[in-house]
Amino acid sequence: MDIGTAKPKNTNIPYHLIDVIKPNEQFTVALFKRKAIKIIKNIQKRGKLPFLVGGTGLYISSIVDNLKIPRVEPNYKLRMKLEKLPKDVLWQKLLKLDKNAAKIVDKNNPRRIIRAIEICQATKKSLSEVRKTGKPFFEILQIGLSLSRPQLYQRINKRVGKMLEDGLLSEAKHLYQKYGDEAPGLEAIGYKEMISYLKGEITFDESHELIKRNTRHYGKRQIQWFKRDKKIFWIRNREEAEALIKNFLKFPEPV
């Protein structure tokens, strides 16, 4: 999943938690938290400064806020039953269990909704009750990149066009043939639209436009999630970021 996930190509910077599972394997917030904390501590032991970069709010929160992840084993019988339901029905079912679910769960992600229902039913509690924050593991500076909507959408369109030029369709076809369309990783934006085209459900142009539209919608949800976090410093350029980081690290000013 190189092209569709825009894996970094700059080999001068060491990256972590890339290529750790296969597209047909499940990856959870709890697993991410455990692996990420171990890596962060190892980086710090070497006297280096780790950057936690990404856009999935819940995953970021699991580290920044030391989110307590409930240990609930998968209920495959329940999952099979829920997977047959339309997304809107799933969402309403979750809201009945937790009226505040919209603050935590992406209503456009059926897998996340099903997992949330699974947790609520198993614990007999709302997500807000079982997902508590703990004492922070690290001293953290949170920086958000502030872009206007036109700038953001322009970048999204350019990025999608570049992925298609780089061979996203061929990559999606290879993965679809190898893992099928039920693989969790292939639910990601970019792959699911390409697979719909390969299955003859939509045209190539429609798949292209759907990727851009779904990425825009995801971007909106990211902004809504992170805007709720008052600890984030929103910056418009590199200079603002550098000033924040220097102050955070208390670098001495040059003489």
Count of alpha carbons within 13 angstroms of residue 234, beta-carbon side: 9
DSSP 49-74: ------S-HHHHHHHHT-B-------
What is the C-alpha to C-alpha distance for residues 87 and 90, in angstroms, rounded to an integer? 5
On whether residue 105 sits in a domain, the answer given is no
The model's pTM: 0.81
pLDDT at 10 over 90: no
Q: How confident is the model at residue 254 (pLDDT cuts 50, 70, 90)?
A: low
Residue (of 5, 119, 26, 103) closest to 61 by Cα position: 103
The CA-atom distances, in angstroms, between 30 and each of 12, 73, 146 are 30, 12, 29
Q: How confident is the model at residue 131 (pLDDT cuts 50, 70, 90)?
A: confident
Which residues form the domain of 179?
A: 149-222
**The CATH number of the domain where 197 resides is what?**
1.10.287.890
pLDDT at 251 over 70: no
On whether residue 175 sits in a domain, the answer given is yes
Residue type, 215: T
> What value does the mean pLDDT take over residues 93-109?
85
On whether residue 56 sits in a domain, the answer given is no
Q: How confident is the model at residue 104 (pLDDT cuts 50, 70, 90)?
A: confident
Query: Sign of the C-alpha dihedral, residues 177, 215, 161, 16?
Result: negative
On whether residue 29 sits in a domain, the answer given is no
Structural domains counted in the chain = 1
Q: Are 116 and 82 in contact (CB under 8 A)?
A: no
On whether residue 185 sits in a domain, the answer given is yes
pLDDT at 255 over 80: no
What is the C-alpha to C-alpha distance for residues 132 and 71, in angstroms, rounded to an integer? 13
Residue type, 70: P
On whether residue 199 sits in a domain, the answer given is yes
On whether residue 88 sits in a domain, the answer given is no
pLDDT tens string 188-228: 999 999 999 999 999 999 999 999 999 999 898 888 889 98
On whether residue 154 sits in a domain, the answer given is yes
